[in-house]
């Protein structure tokens, strides 16, 4: 039977956008799958979004939508990014499917039948008002260590101490603001110590035979050495797979238990014969690509679930676990928005193959690697362009110019070909073991060999003294280029296709390596990639510095500053008006200087004109994925247009018709080519796990608020006037905060129609 390879990459959690560090696993599995197909192996590559769990339920509750709606939104974001990166999934699916529920419940019931499920009673905070047990992140209170009054149930954001919700002083439910009570609840556990003998029997030669990565071996052995413990597999949530056991109908499976089963269920959504892949250990090899933080789930917990079920599962054959990819001077962070994200890479205008090249050339296989823009530039210009691109261009250009593009049969047994054959054999062996970086670098060593051969031969001289020998050399190099296109195709597929196009052929399979047939005429090569210039890299480095929130504020400030450049000229007839304007500007500057000495709340009240505005139209920005263009009614003769970065946080329907708080006197600015006449206000907060919540300040709970209604700080008299063009940097110099769901400036609450402006989801955070 032909070798069959089943390939998976770690399921990305659904409610965020993947950054380059996350993409490493998906891209790695893609390279291996492409290689296996070229080798002629029957190959199946599956992945999908991990959609159940507390984080999804919490985020959906905060946004006022269903978990399914949230998952669908982010599934589409993930799918679009992976398509741009040309990931060749056989199936990119989801875990919120009937197939996933059925297979997960079946594995659980077999574990239960075989005696590997236990139950334990624990105490957990319970909301009597909402009749529900509260997950840790649904509880806040005073930290017992530092006294911070808005600490989360699992960790205090102020002092960083890990907490149990029961440790909080004066705990309160974020669901209904009630005071929760401790209640007993019973949960189910998988008995890993009891399954351990089965795991050890399987592991006797599994890891050594398949060549697991060193970190996978070390971490797995450490878990077993330190002693396996029973692990809870149920939670008191709504969003998840129901537990099919009497007495536990109101509980769902914990996401870590069901998520790896997603590999199986996603296959089942693709193929009716999914068991021929997942219950066929004698004929199928399972390769899994993950980050090192996921190792125990794939080498201990998931295998224990399968072994304990008693079915004849296809078990893990090869584990490829990478170290961390860091960013510049720190770490990539989904929650804080640090680094380059999948959509950012696309928006740079740099082709996907360039990103793929750099990530594979520096894949963190045995140690952490740090992405820097300077190294990105140097490797791209030096290797991708200066090495591979140079060999293709110089060889084909010379051949078409002096030999009409005609290719002679290559003498593959000659001196030139011996090191080529040895290198190709080594590359193939490395790829068979999923050593992707080492294999890729060997490909570029082979390209460098081609360049050295060209340079040493000096064909610009020998074409006169030895035209036949020169023609043969160039023909040999053409077949080397063909082989490089094959070897590169798992890594940079579009580039390989372009090279084959220059050679007038379709991409051959792996067996064509080392052959010298099929090419008789080549065409003129085109430049494969543009050089990355210093100015462009400097711009990108500045653009992607800091967090995404800091970038957005910086972009707004720069846009506002650019509008200052437009100044109206004053003619001779207008000198008097100009003089008057000068006097007025001096008076204005003096007033501003006096206001700067006021307390924060009074200064804000005197400078910032907040108004109610109703959103009447919402459209996607044609040039920016994260931006909406909103048409708003501010009670003026003409509607206004604003631009906001809310695409990752709200759908169009969630904004349309809502009444928001507008900074109405903010200086107009252009954001990616669209005019923005003001800025809506939104609160944001980041939890201990780094998940960001963004909540627009809606006024719809304040009664019938007419567009244009003032939104003012409570207890201060209405100002006589406001500056007509408030600069964005001045606005951000006056912080607005949310404390206990109240929106405050300098401790004074904002009011509209006599009612305080309040948030629902963000209890403590910043407003901007």
Q: Is 531 left (phi over 0), alpha (psi -120 to 50) or beta?
A: beta
Angle at 493 between CA 492 and CA 494, to 5 degrees: 100
Contact of 384 with 357, CB cutoff 8 Å: yes
* Side-chain half-sphere exposure of 135, counting CA atoms within 13 A: 20
Bridge partners (DSSP) listed for residue 117: 190
CB-based burial label for 658 (10 Å; 0-12, 13-18, 19+):
middle
pLDDT value, residue 689: 53
pLDDT value, residue 326: 86
pLDDT value, residue 582: 38
* Helices assigned H by DSSP within 362-409: 373-379, 390-403
pLDDT value, residue 548: 56
Q: Which residues contact 302 (CB under 8 A, 6 or more apart)?
A: 260, 261, 316
Contact of 358 with 314, CB cutoff 8 Å: no
Q: Per the structure block, which two tokens stand in for 438?
A: 């080492």
pLDDT value, residue 575: 40
Contact of 430 with 363, CB cutoff 8 Å: no
pLDDT value, residue 585: 40
Q: Please give the helix or strand (H or E) that residue 286 lies within, else none.
A: strand 284-291
pLDDT value, residue 330: 67
Backbone phi and psi for residue 357, each to the nearest 5 degrees, phi listed first: -55, -55
Sheet of 369-371: strand order equals: 330-331, 325-327, 369-371
Q: Per the structure block, which two tokens stand in for 18?
A: 């993947």
* Most distant CA pair in the chain, distance: 96
Q: Which residues contact 435 (CB under 8 A, 6 or more apart)?
A: 365
pTM for the model stands at: 0.71
Q: Which residues of the chain have pLDDT under 50?
A: 562-596
pLDDT value, residue 17: 85
pLDDT value, residue 562: 46
Strands 330-331, 736-739: pairing is unpaired
* Residue 609 DSSP one-character state: -
Contact of 34 with 493, CB cutoff 8 Å: yes
Q: Which residues contact 102 (CB under 8 A, 6 or more apart)?
A: 265
Kindly provide the b/e burial profile for residues 64-96, where b requires at least 16 CB atoms within 10 angstroms of the residue's own CB.
Answer: ebebeebbbbbbebbbebbeebebebbebbbbb
pLDDT value, residue 554: 55
- The CA-atom distances, in angstroms, between 75 and each of 53, 70, 193 are 15, 9, 36
Rounded to an integer, what distance in angstroms lies between the CA atom of residue 63 and that of residue 649? Answer: 8
CA 631 vs. chain centroid, Å, equals 30
pLDDT value, residue 580: 39
């Amino acid at each position: 039977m032909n070798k069959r390879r089943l390939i998976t990459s770690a399921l990305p959690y659904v409610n965020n956008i993947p950054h380059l560090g996350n993409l490493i696993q998906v891209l790695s599995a893609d390279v291996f799958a492409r290689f296996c197909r070229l080798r002629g192996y029957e190959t199946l590559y599956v992945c999908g979004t991990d959609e159940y769990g507390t984080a999804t339920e919490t985020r959906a509750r905060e946004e006022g939508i269903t978990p399914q709606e949230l998952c669908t939104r982010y599934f589409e974001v993930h799918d679009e990014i992976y398509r741009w990166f040309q990931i060749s999934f056989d199936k990119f699916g989801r875990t919120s499917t009937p197939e996933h529920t059925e297979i997960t419940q079946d594995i659980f019931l077999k574990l239960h039948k075989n005696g590997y499920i236990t139950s334990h009673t624990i105490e957990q905070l319970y909301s009597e008002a909402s009749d529900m047990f509260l997950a840790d992140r649904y509880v806040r209170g005073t930290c017992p260590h530092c006294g911070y009054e808005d600490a989360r149930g699992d960790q205090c954001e102020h002092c960083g101490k890990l907490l149990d919700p029961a440790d909080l002083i004066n705990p309160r439910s974020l669901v209904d603001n009630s005071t929760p009570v401790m209640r007993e609840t019973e949960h189910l556990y998988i008995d890993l110590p009891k399954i351990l003998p089965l795991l050890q029997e399987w592991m006797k030669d599994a890891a050594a035979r398949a060549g697991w990565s060193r970190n996978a071996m070390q971490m797995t052995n450490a878990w077993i050495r330190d002693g396996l413990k029973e692990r809870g597999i149920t939670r008191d949530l709504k969003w998840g797979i129901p537990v099919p056991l009497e007495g536990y109908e109101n509980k769902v499976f914990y996401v870590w238990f069901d998520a790896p089963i997603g590999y199986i269920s996603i296959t089942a959504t693709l193929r009716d014969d999914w068991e021929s892949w997942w219950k066929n250990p004698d004929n199928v090899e399972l390769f899994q690509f993950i980050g090192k933080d996921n190792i125990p789930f794939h080498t201990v917990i998931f295998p224990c679930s399968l072994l304990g079920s008693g079915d004849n599962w296809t078990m893990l054959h090869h584990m490829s676990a990478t170290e961390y990819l860091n960013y510049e001077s720190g770490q990539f962070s989904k929650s804080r928005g640090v680094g380059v994200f999948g959509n950012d890479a696309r928006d740079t205008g740099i082709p996907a193959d360039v990103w793929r090249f750099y990530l594979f050339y520096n894949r963190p296989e045995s140690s952490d690697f740090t992405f820097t823009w300077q190294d990105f530039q140097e490797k791209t210009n030096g290797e991708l362009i200066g090495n591979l691109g140079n060999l293709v261009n110089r060889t084909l250009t010379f051949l078409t110019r002096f030999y009409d593009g005609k290719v002679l049969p290559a003498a593959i047994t000659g001196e030139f070909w011996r090191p080529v054959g040895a290198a190709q054999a080594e590359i193939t062996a490395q790829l068979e073991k999923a050593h992707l970086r080492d294999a890729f670098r060997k490909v570029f060593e082979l390209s460098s060999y081609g360049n050295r051969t060209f340079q040493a031969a000096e064909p610009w001289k020998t074409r006169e003294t030895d035209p036949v020998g020169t023609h043969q050399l160039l023909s040999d190099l053409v077949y080397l280029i063909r082989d490089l296109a094959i070897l590169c195709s798992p890594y940079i597929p579009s580039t390989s296709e372009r090279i084959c196009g220059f050679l007038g052929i379709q991409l051959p399979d792996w067996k064509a390596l080392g052959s010298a047939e099929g090419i008789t005429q080549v065409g003129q090569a085109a430049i494969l990639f543009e050089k990355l210039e210093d100015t462009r890299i400097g711009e990108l480095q500045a653009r992607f510095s800091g967090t995404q929130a800091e970038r957005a504020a910086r972009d707004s400030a720069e846009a506002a500053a650019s509008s200052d450049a437009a100044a109206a000229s004053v003619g001779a007839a207008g000198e008097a008006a100009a003089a008057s304007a000068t006097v007025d500007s001096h008076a204005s500057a003096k007033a501003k200087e006096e206001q700067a000495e006021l307390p924060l709340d009074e200064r804000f009240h005197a400078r910032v004109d907040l108004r109610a505005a109703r959103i009447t139209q919402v459209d996607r920005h044609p040039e920016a994925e994260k931006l909406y263009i909103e048409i708003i009614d501010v009670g003026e003769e003409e509607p206004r247009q604003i631009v906001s970065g809310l695409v990752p946080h709200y759908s169009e329907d969630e904004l349309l018709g809502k009444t928001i708080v507008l900074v109405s006197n903010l200086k107009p600015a252009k954001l990616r080519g669209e005019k923005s006449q003001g800025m809506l206000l939104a609160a944001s907060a980041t939890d201990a796990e780094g998940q960001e919540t963004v909540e627009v300040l809606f006024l719809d709970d304040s009664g019938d608020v007419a567009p244009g209604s003032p939104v003012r700080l409570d207890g201060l008299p209405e100002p006589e006037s406001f500056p007509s063009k408030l600069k964005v940097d001045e606005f951000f110099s006056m912080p607005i905060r949310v404390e206990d769901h109240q929106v405050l400036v300098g401790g004074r609450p904002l009011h509209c129609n006599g009612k305080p402006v309040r948030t629902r989801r963000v209890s403590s955070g910043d407003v901007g």
